[in-house]
Structure 1
Amino acid sequence: MAKKNEPQAVHPPTSRQLTHWQKQARRQRIIGISGFVTIVAVIAIILSGWYFKQYVPIDKPMRETVIEVNGHKFSMAYYVDALRYVSGGQTSYISYILDYVEQTIEQVELMKEESIKLGITVTDDEINQYIKDNALANNQAVRDLVRGQLLSKKLTSDYFGPQIPASAEQRDVLAMFLESQSQLNDIKAQIDAGADFGELAGSISLDSTTQGDKGILDSHAKGVFDYLLGTKGFDDLIFTTQVGDWGQFQDAEKTKQVGYWLVKVTEKKDDNSQVHVFGMLLSSLEEAQAIKTRLDGGEDFTTLAQQYSQNWSDTSKDDLSWITSDSTAAYKSYVFDTATAIGAVSAPIKDTNQSTKGGYWLFKVLDSAVKDVSADDKTNLINQAFNTWLTALQDDTVNNKITNYLDEAKKTFATIQASS
């Protein structure tokens, strides 16, 4: 008979084996924990780098609300997308359109809300088709701005267009824009003495339209003159002035390409290579002369600058800073003249590189007649009606709440992001 295999006896591990196994297990645990800690540390380093290099300086600000219209919030990312769309990829223009895009975002939201009340809407299909036809980015900012463009067209054609009459009284007018009452009086005296209105307007009018057309505005319906000339209220006076009469209209808001400096030097380098200048920019020679007289009478320069200067800054006030001898400032000759005494105020210095507000219209109504409204006038009146409606929405602070959180730092950030 075959001999059966006897079961082998199981011997308990020796204390030496147990100690070895325990050390081995402990080493494995240490290696495992060390590996886990290393992985966590690597992840933490990566996350820390992302947090401080991407999230804090970029992602977090991009999520912040920068504009709010009637509870509808618009983020920095939205604003940046809008800047990219409006700039058309021309990054060099972005810094010049910051305020325009901000205002457009506000206007489009108000327009969208108010248009619904008028029964005028734009569908998503219309927006999608426009984006496709023009190969545009399809993000929310672009969609909203496209909606605004399409709404504008519908509002002007379907709502404001029908309100314009087929015929209306129209007036034929001559006009020129002058800087002051005293200049207007002088020009009117020249005309009364036989000077040609057109020649004078072509050479001295501070409005590009009347200068280019030698003061001839032709015949237009009421409302068109304000639109063409960028004024407000001029039309009303034109249509209440008797035919054949001269008139004048003070326009405090119209911008013109001229101003007058009063400046003084407060410090000079020993070699006269740099001078520290304080100054105020005034609307007309007449105003500058009047302020100079008050200064000569002992009134305070900064106090008058704060009241009258169109170059006043709440931060730098009337301080024009230090300038060097290669400056192109209109007042350079005066401030670097070695005969100019410290603290002495200059006579008025004309500067055609500066823009100021305010002036006077000299005009004459040549004729009045009821005629068909021309296609151009109709377009101008429609656009004016639309712009007036939109401006009224923005100015209605009772029914429309607009909050703007964009400061200079945020605008700089937006410019950088939109340019990248």
Structure 2
Amino acid sequence: MAKKKKDEKPPRHISKRQLSSIKRHKRRQRLIFFSGIIIIVVVLVIVFVGIYMGEIRPYHKTIAKVYDREFSAQYLMDAVEYFGQYYSPETFITQLSSLINIASNYTVQSELIRRGAEDLGITVEDDEVKASLKENKETVNDASVDFTRLGFLNERLFEEHFLPQVPTSADQVNMMAMFLESESQAANITAELANGGNFTALAAEHSLDVYSKEKMGDLGWHSREFLESEMGATIPVEYAFTAEIGVLSQPLYDEKSKSIGYWVVNILEREEDIQAHVQVILVGSVEEADIVMQKLIDGEDFGELAREFSQDISREQGGDLGWVTPGTRSEAFDAYVFNPELGDVGVLGPFHDDEVTTTGGYWLVKVVDREENRPLDEEERETRASQSYDDWVTQLWDVAANEIDRTYLTPQITTWIMEKLTDKYS
């Protein structure tokens, strides 16, 4: 007997209303899906922008501009690390403020020298610099490349440009000299030399000029230009190129500055060792100080004597410094003004101070020999070439004064750099 066939269900027909509902449902699903994607994208963009603005963008901020070249915060950070690479982490962190100033200055100067050297036809290619850095296993970045290039450029500038400009011979004098604080001291030393005193020993002990003191008075053979530069004076040099050979000069007065002075102080009021109201007179020799003291003993006015004799900036105020506290002047000044054993008020001095600068003194010069067109020694030629280089760099700064902009390096960026580097080396 044959099986009975199942009843087949008639096909289901979807009404237009149902079809429309299904389509609306699918559209809602797609809308929700794409809305979710958009929201995720927006969130990611916001997060990325936040990271970029807070963490990435500051590295790219301009901190200096030299002509048309801009330098970023990242460059400055690399420069700071370059100059501090041999410090311990602790020292690096404590010296950060100083290192930022150094790196900022060298950033500008290296660019000025690079441009100046290029104008002179002297260049150093990046490949040469990078090869040197890699050979020495040093970090390679824009800052390290620039500063390493600077070293190469300086060598080539010196050897190829500045040294060849120095003549190989010149008129020279072999002279001896010392610079003394007063005419009376010069007269005393003249007498001592006449009695067999040793010029070099006396110059080493008494000369107030750094160069003649270092050379113990025996300056050797040199050109006029070299001596004037090293001594910072023209009077003794001019004398040496015209004076009789072998004869000691009379004392030659010169307004040259020297690191010595003598104080005469009038304490008007004092509050123990906390502060004092003082008038001062600063002179350049003990001879002048004794003259001032005698005039005070004779009853002359302290303020008027300060206006006449003092080399301190307070002279126009009659030497009145107002109230001063320990540490605002030199150690020698404090030792007298805040010493209760010397009395509460009144005139003190004169006392010596080698932390101040005064002007005026006397040269003693002796010409050993003179020679025209004498070959220059290498030390002088190199010194003169170095001076020419320094003058050239100074000129680069002067010419570029309006092309250098470091106003971008704000306190906020400086603080941010210090924080990042502190975190890195902590």
TM-score (norm 2): 0.66
Give 1:385's aligned residue.
388
Give 2:22's aligned residue.
none
Equivalent of residue 353 in structure 2, options 351, 354, 369: 351
Give 2:187's aligned residue.
189
Supply the distance in 2 between the matched residues of 1:266 and 1:323 (Cα, whole angstroms): 16
Supply the distance in 2 between the matched residues of 1:390 and 1:237 (Cα, whole angstroms): 29
Give 1:275's aligned residue.
275
> Does 2:5 correspond to 1:4?
no
Give 1:221's aligned residue.
223
Larger Rg: 2
Give 2:20's aligned residue.
none
Structure 2 runs not aligned, ≥5 long: 16-24
> Does 2:173 correspond to 1:171?
yes
Inter-CA distance 200–264: structure 2 relative to 1 (3 Å threshold)? same
**Structure 1 segment 292-303 matched on structure 2, within 5 A:** 295-297=302-304
Supply the distance in 1 between the matched residues of 2:75 and 2:332 (Cα, whole angstroms): 39
Residue-by-residue CA offset, 1:35-80 (whole Å, 9 max, x unaligned): x79x969x87x959x84xx689xx48x83534x4435444555444
RMSD: 5.2
Supply the distance in 1 between the matched residues of 2:100 and 2:239 (Cα, whole angstroms): 36
One-letter identity of the residue aligned with 2:151: Q
- Paired residues in the alignment total 378
Say which is worse superposed, 157-166 or 234-243, in terms of deviation: 234-243
Supply the distance in 2 between the matched residues of 1:139 and 1:305 (Cα, whole angstroms): 50
Residue-by-residue CA offset, 1:239-265 (whole Å, 9 max, x unaligned): 64424363747465x673x45556676
Q: Any conservation in 1 of the 2:262–2:286 contact (CA below 8 Å)?
A: no
Inter-CA distance 190–403: structure 2 relative to 1 (3 Å threshold)? farther
Structure 1 runs not aligned, ≥5 long: 12-21, 310-316
Q: Once the 2 structures are TM-superposed, how far is the Cα of residue 112 of structure 1 from its aligned partner? A: 2.0
Q: Any conservation in 2 of the 1:277–1:335 contact (CA below 8 Å)?
A: no
Q: Any conservation in 1 of the 2:264–2:350 contact (CA below 8 Å)?
A: yes
Q: Any conservation in 2 of the 1:224–1:235 contact (CA below 8 Å)?
A: no
Equivalent of residue 145 in structure 1, options 140, 144, 147: 147
Q: Once the 2 structures are TM-superposed, how far is the Cα of residue 225 of structure 1 from its aligned partner? A: 2.6
One-letter identity of the residue aligned with 2:79: A
Give 2:206's aligned residue.
204
SS at match of 1:4: coil
TM-score (norm 1): 0.66
Say which is worse superposed, 69-78 or 217-226, in terms of deviation: 69-78
Supply the distance in 2 between the matched residues of 1:70 and 1:106 (Cα, whole angstroms): 10
Q: Any conservation in 1 of the 2:258–2:357 contact (CA below 8 Å)?
A: yes
Give 2:127's aligned residue.
125
Inter-CA distance 40–74: structure 2 relative to 1 (3 Å threshold)? closer
One-letter identity of the residue aligned with 1:274: I
Q: Once the 2 structures are TM-superposed, how far is the Cα of residue 123 of structure 1 from its aligned partner? A: 1.3
Q: Once the 2 structures are TM-superposed, how far is the Cα of residue 386 of structure 1 from its aligned partner? A: 1.7
One-letter identity of the residue aligned with 2:375: D
**Structure 1 segment 6-405 matched on structure 2, within 5 A:** 47=50, 51=54, 59=58, 63-66=61-64, 68-75=65-72, 77-90=74-87, 91=92, 102-178=104-180, 183-195=181-193, 196=197, 197-226=199-228, 228-229=230-231, 231=232, 237=238, 240-244=241-245, 246=249, 248=252, 250=254, 252=256, 256=259, 258-260=260-262, 272=272, 274-275=274-275, 284-285=284-285, 289=289, 295-297=302-304, 306=313, 322-323=325-326, 330-337=333-340, 340-341=343-344, 346-352=348-354, 354=355, 356=357, 358=359, 360=361, 362=363, 363-370=365-372, 371-396=374-399, 401-405=403-407
Q: Any conservation in 2 of the 1:279–1:320 contact (CA below 8 Å)?
A: no
One-letter identity of the residue aligned with 1:4: E
SS at match of 2:370: strand
Inter-CA distance 285–239: structure 2 relative to 1 (3 Å threshold)? closer
Q: Once the 2 structures are TM-superposed, how far is the Cα of residue 357 of structure 1 from its aligned partner? A: 6.5
